[in-house]
Amino acid sequence: MYGHIINTYKAVNSGCWVGEAVVRGPPTRERPFDMPIYEDIAHDLLEAIHRGEYPVGGLIPTELELAARYDVSRQTVRAAMRRLTELGAVSRRKGSGTRVETREPPQQSFQQTLGSLGDLVALAAATERDIRSIETVVMDRKAARRFGCQPGSRWLRVAYVRASTKPKTPPLAWVDCYVEESYADAVSNIRKDRRLVCDMIADSYGVIASEVHQTVAATVVPNEFAKALGAEAESPALEVIRRYLDSNGRLFEISESIHPAGRYVVTSVLKRVGNAGAASRRATRSFGKTKSRA
């Protein structure tokens, strides 16, 4: 199931990228990246549940007990408990503790937390491309409106299946990646090169992605992709479109991904900007004046 995206894709003047999230594959002791502490705790508890150390219907230790056992804060333990709840392994009820719901391991899928382009780099390292076709296409009016590019513009389309490097893990997505024709040479070695396409372009032409605009929508798995994705045709899916812009706002790369249900989850963090209380008072005063004039 279970991935998370935090959308903060904007460059700052220093050249750094906002956000400090990371991208992970399914939790394993052989994982290629260091996990946050709460993920390690959640993984350890999942293993204990699977071994039967905590039986279905029984309770796992309290937050205080777990904090002492792992020598961490209660906040870290709470984060681990939220993770187990998201995975469906446990349920939590105030005053009743944390109850085990199943011994079955969660579906092997991909967990993703994106706060920067650096996280997409980690995604590329943890997965691989199964290239299906490479061809030049001309954007018609419908496609141009869909992707925000010019009608009649020419793009190199690379179609591939994004797959985890872990065995027995279903494919993450079908991806159609479009590279503006003048940069097509940058991806000539894409069958062997696992880097991000935008990094290939940057290395070849010095064009840097300053912003990535992302759109997520509900869709279904197209018939022509179903077999490659190991999913039922017309079953629910997520569509993710990313548009890569340079420092001048010029679009030079587009990617469209189809993720079957249960293999990708998008989470956005919304933050209030400014003085909310003052804004509320201003709105109230404005409403009062309008009402008195009416």
Q: What's the pLDDT at 114?
A: 52
Final residue of a structural domain among 74, 100, 126: 100
pLDDT confidence tier of residue 92, bands split at 50, 70 and 90: confident
Q: What's the pLDDT at 111?
A: 47
Final residue of a structural domain among 100, 128, 147: 100
Same domain for 212 and 90, yes or no, is no
Same domain for 217 and 194, yes or no, is yes
With respect to residue 271, please indicate whether it lies within any of the assigned structural domains.
Answer: no
Same domain for 92 and 125, yes or no, is no
Same domain for 56 and 164, yes or no, is no
pLDDT confidence tier of residue 79, bands split at 50, 70 and 90: confident
Q: Is the pLDDT of residue 24 over 60?
A: no
Long-range contacts of 102-108 (CB under 8 A, 24+ apart): 102/49, 102/56, 103/49, 103/50, 103/52, 103/56, 104/50, 105/46, 105/50, 106/1, 106/2, 106/46, 107/1, 107/262, 108/26, 108/164, 108/166, 108/168, 108/169, 108/170
CATH classification at residue 179: 3.40.1410.10
Same domain for 96 and 118, yes or no, is no
Q: How many domains does the chain have?
A: 2
Give CA–CA dist 24/4, Å, rounded: 10
With respect to residue 268, please indicate whether it lies within any of the assigned structural domains.
Answer: no
Q: What's the pLDDT at 115?
A: 53
Final residue of a structural domain among 52, 69, 100: 100
Percent of the chain topping pLDDT 70: 71
Same domain for 59 and 183, yes or no, is no
Q: Is the pLDDT of residue 282 over 60?
A: no
Same domain for 136 and 245, yes or no, is yes
pLDDT confidence tier of residue 211, bands split at 50, 70 and 90: confident
More confident residue, 279 or 204: 204
Same domain for 163 and 185, yes or no, is yes
Q: Is the pLDDT of residue 15 over 50?
A: no
With respect to residue 22, please indicate whether it lies within any of the assigned structural domains.
Answer: no
With respect to residue 106, please indicate whether it lies within any of the assigned structural domains.
Answer: no
Task: Give the domain extent around 35.
Answer: 27-100
For residue 121, CA distances in Å to 24, 58, 113 come to: 11, 41, 12
Which residue type is seen at 35? Answer: M
Q: Is the pLDDT of residue 27 over 60?
A: no
Residues 153-175: pLDDT tens digits?
Answer: 999 999 999 988 877 889 999 99
Long-range contacts of 78-85 (CB under 8 A, 24+ apart): 79/36, 79/38, 80/38, 80/39, 80/41, 80/42, 80/45, 81/42, 83/38, 83/39, 83/42, 84/42, 84/45, 84/46
Q: In three state form, how does the secondary structure of the chain look?
A: CCCCCCCCCEECCCCCECCCCCEECCCCCCCCCCCCHHHHHHHHHHHHHHHCCCCCCCECCCHHHHHHHHCCCHHHHHHHHHHHHHCCCEEEECCCEEEECCCCCCCCCCEECCCCHHHHHHHHHHEEEEEEEEEEEECCHHHHHHHCCCCCCEEEEEEEEEEECCCCCCCCEEEEEEEEHHHHHHHCCCCCCCCCHHHHHHHHHCCCCCEEEEEEEEEECCHHHHHHHCCCCCCEEEEEEEEEECCCCCEEEEEEEEEECCCCCCCCCCCCCCCHHHHHHHHHHHHHHHHHHC
Q: At what angle do helices 37-51 and 63-70 cross, to 10 degrees?
A: 110
The strand order across the sheet containing 127-138 reads 127-138, 154-164, 173-180, 251-260, 236-245, 211-220
Q: What's the pLDDT at 78?
A: 84
Q: Is the pLDDT of residue 141 over 80?
A: yes
Q: What's the pLDDT at 167?
A: 79
Q: How many CB atoms lie within 10 A of CB 12?
A: 8
With respect to residue 3, please indicate whether it lies within any of the assigned structural domains.
Answer: no
Q: Is the pLDDT of residue 236 over 90?
A: yes
CATH classification at residue 86: 1.10.10.10
With respect to residue 178, please indicate whether it lies within any of the assigned structural domains.
Answer: yes
Q: Is the pLDDT of residue 1 over 60?
A: no
Same domain for 66 and 203, yes or no, is no
Place of tokens 């077999």: 227
Give CA–CA dist 184/21, Å, rounded: 30
Same domain for 83 and 157, yes or no, is no
Same domain for 66 and 146, yes or no, is no
Average pLDDT over residues 136-148: 95
pLDDT confidence tier of residue 288, bands split at 50, 70 and 90: very low
With respect to residue 155, please indicate whether it lies within any of the assigned structural domains.
Answer: yes
With respect to residue 195, please indicate whether it lies within any of the assigned structural domains.
Answer: yes
Same domain for 80 and 155, yes or no, is no
